[in-house]
Amino acid sequence: MMIISLQSYRSYKTSRDGVNWDLSEAVPRLPGETHVADKEVIYICPFNGPIKGRVYITNYRLYLRSLETDSALILDVPLGVISRIEKMGGATSRGENSYGLDITCKDMRNLRFALKQEGHSRRDMFEILTRHAFPLAHSLPIFAFLNEEKFNVDGWMVYNPVEEYRRQGLPNHHWRITFINKCYELCDTYPSLLVVPYRASDEDLRRVATFRSRNRIPVLSWIHPENKTVIVRCSQPLVGMSGKRNKDDEKYLDVIRETNRQISKLTIYDARPNVNAVANKATGGGYESDDAYHNAELFFLDIHNIHVMRESLKKVKDIVYPNVEESHWLSSLESTHWLEHIKLVLTGAIQVADKVSSGKSSVLVHCSDGWDRTAQLTSLAMLMLDSFYRSIEGFEILVQKEWISFGHKFASRIGHGDKNHADADRSPIFLQFIDCVWQMSKQFPTAFEFNEQFLITILDHLYSCRFGTFLYNCESARERQKVTERTVSLWSLINSNKDRFKNPFYTKEINRVLYPVASMRHLELWVNYYIRWNPRIKQQQPNPVEQRYLELLALRDEYIKRLEELQLANSAKLSDPSTSPSSPSQMMPHVQTHF
């Protein structure tokens, strides 16, 4: 009963996403989405038991509508969410609904469909689903390349590296912008535009690159507007078993240190646990030793690798889906260690932020390759330090910069369109980052311009393959595939309907550093994400808080507009430039009520 309203609410939401919602049509369809097949099945709902329905498969989604009169259930699952399709039961297996398909999803749920046993009835459905859910194995394009949606905002314009660095006050007389990686020859997983110390020549950079794993040299991520201390990111040095040294790398780090004269040491945060860093020497990696880097202090942050995180999330799914472990909920949750990992990531980021802000020391962050834990640490620290990233567009820029452009391997970690569900490269690193952001937004309810829905939408489209934003592993691959020309950006969807993603209690504060409490006592499981499929945890339907928030937001905007009108009337005496950044011109177009 609950699920009905939940689902209808979802469909109400999708209809506002720009989907053609034609009532005469059975299935909502995006421009470019085509019908492939439909079939009568029994959906084995883990909460309400078997429900007879018709499933419609398009090249983008699996859509199920109940055929039973007393249940209005609708399932709307983008095929990109599917990680694995299995046949359950055989032609001879007995028992009701024992023959069919079992679908594992990336977003914390599984779907089971039962079909008639006679005549291999599931074979074609299995094949069609496999083809469209895993297009890579069948030389089919990912749906993002077929999507013909149009938005009035172009999300690809959100991030412009030159502009972002200019916002940070770069280049300055210590840091320069280099185009050495223009054709990705220095480092194929880095963006084309990099910020490096002014005193390091391009030749120096090339030599440093030989000593850093996958040539990911230390480059600037963020500079403190007052201290001029910086966050620099890179990969591990190639020290190896023999303890190799590289004069250029040592000199380069010293140059970075010298850009800030307030403190005599450069702080290096190695995100890994100490033992892992040592173990990496066996494969040619390692960490900066004291003897080689006199002017640096190294700390390990004890964050585990992608495999540990993957297993941890798997355990979370085990205790929340389909049924929530009831009798020992908290100790089961503890045994997944998920919150403990969240705590470690947050603690690491706090240390980075604190060092840069209060410690007045420049910081270098790396893990092994510098595209997972490093991205988590730099982006979270930047979120704590720089209020700009707490706005909707700022956050988009942060994700676009620290994650997408710096080569977090989205394609490998998520496995877009790839059937190899057991790939050891898959890992929920980005999800973990979003979880950390959510924890922060819980602790600072007024500090973020965006709401929970914004974060959930990002995660939904991390898997959906509807947008090109999270496709491929690095900028060079994206450029080769002309992703920005051939696909739509997720930010187009979000920015063309920002109101839905706004936190009405957002208070813009410049220069406030947020230090979340990273104690287990103050972290909680993100129930609205991880357990959202369970109708029992939903309370009021449809979510009235969200509606009320929107109402309040509209009223606030209206108020600001009126205030603005009054200000215009007295404008002569009021020409304070400090009020203009929050100028109502951004707000005004959204003064509308939609309920």
Q: How far is the CB of 342 from another protein (least distance, A)?
A: 11
Dist CA 588 CA 584 (whole Å): 6
Nearer to another protein, 208 or 531 (CB): 531
Interior/surface letters 517-541, b for 16+ CB within 10 angstroms, e for the rest: ebeeeebebbeebbbbbbbeebeee
Does 370 belong to an annotated binding site?
A: yes
Does 328 help bind another protein (rule: CB under 8 A)?
yes
Nearer to another protein, 380 or 587 (CB): 587
Does 302 help bind another protein (rule: CB under 8 A)?
no
Reference 439, options 359, 530, 366; nearest CA is: 530
Dist CA 250 CA 231 (whole Å): 17
Selecting among 45, 187, 367, 465, the annotated active-site residue is 367
Q: How far is the CB of 65 from another protein (least distance, A)?
A: 27
Q: Which of 358, 446, 580, 593 binds another protein (CB under 8 A)?
A: 446
Write the CB contacts of 578 (distance below 8 Å, at least 6 apart in sequence): none
Does 371 belong to an annotated binding site?
A: yes
Write the CB contacts of 289 (distance below 8 Å, at least 6 apart in sequence): 239, 243
Does 372 belong to an annotated binding site?
A: yes
Does 392 belong to an annotated binding site?
A: no
Q: Give me the numbers of helices (H) and strands (E) for the chain, helices first please.
A: 20, 14
- Could you confirm whether 367 is annotated as catalytic? yes
Does 539 help bind another protein (rule: CB under 8 A)?
yes
3-class secondary-structure state, position 124: helix
Q: How far is the CB of 285 from another protein (least distance, A)?
A: 28
Does 289 help bind another protein (rule: CB under 8 A)?
no
Nearer to another protein, 128 or 324 (CB): 324
Q: Which segments of 287-427 does DSSP mark as H helices, in order?
A: 306-320, 329-336, 338-357, 373-385, 392-398, 410
Q: Which of residues 193-222 bind another protein (CB under 8 A)?
A: none
Q: Which of 57, 333, 364, 493 binds another protein (CB under 8 A)?
A: 333
Q: How far is the CB of 99 from another protein (least distance, A)?
A: 32
Which stretch, 21-29, 282-290, 415-423, 550-558, contacts another protein (CB under 8 A)? Answer: 550-558
Does 540 help bind another protein (rule: CB under 8 A)?
yes
Between helix 247-258 and helix 202-209 the angle, nearest 10°, is 120
Q: Which of 537, 541, 542, 591 binds another protein (CB under 8 A)?
A: 537
Contact 554, 593 (CB under 8 A): yes
Does 590 help bind another protein (rule: CB under 8 A)?
no
Does 283 help bind another protein (rule: CB under 8 A)?
no
The dihedral over CA atoms of 177, 183, 185, 189, expressed in degrees to the nearest 10, equals 80
Does 436 help bind another protein (rule: CB under 8 A)?
no
494: number of CA atoms within 13 Å, CB side?
27
Q: How far is the CB of 324 from another protein (least distance, A)?
A: 6
x/- letters, 508..527, toward another protein (CB under 8 A): ---------x-xxxx-xx-x
Q: Which of 420, 443, 496, 497 binds another protein (CB under 8 A)?
A: 443
Q: Is the peptide bond before 171 cis (omega within 30 degrees of 0)?
A: yes
Both tokens assigned to 345: 């990531």
Neighbours of 569 (CB within 10 A): 9
Nearer to another protein, 339 or 365 (CB): 339
Dist CA 469 CA 517 (whole Å): 31
Which stretch, 58-66, 272-280, 288-296, 539-547, contacts another protein (CB under 8 A)? Answer: 539-547
Nearer to another protein, 95 or 581 (CB): 581
Which stretch, 165-173, 319-327, 376-384, 463-471, contacts another protein (CB under 8 A)? Answer: 319-327
Contact 44, 2 (CB under 8 A): no
Does 368 belong to an annotated binding site?
A: yes
DSSP codes joined into one string, 214-244: GG---EEEEE-TTT--EEEEE--B--TTTT-
Nearer to another protein, 157 or 566 (CB): 566
Both tokens assigned to 91: 């032609």
Does 507 help bind another protein (rule: CB under 8 A)?
yes
Neighbours of 119 (CB within 10 A): 9
Dist CA 178 CA 204 (whole Å): 12
Q: Which of residues 566-585 bind another protein (CB under 8 A)?
A: 566-567, 569-570, 573-574, 579, 582
Q: Is the sign of the CA dihedral 429, 217, 385, 355 positive or negative?
A: positive
Binding-site positions for substrate? 305-306, 367-373
The site for another protein (CB under 8 A) is made up of 320, 324, 326, 328-331, 333-334, 337, 339-340, 343, 443-447, 504-505, 507, 517, 519-522, 524-525, 527, 531, 536-540, 544-545, 548, 552, 555-556, 558-560, 562-563, 566-567, 569-570, 573-574, 579, 582
Catalytically active residues are: 367
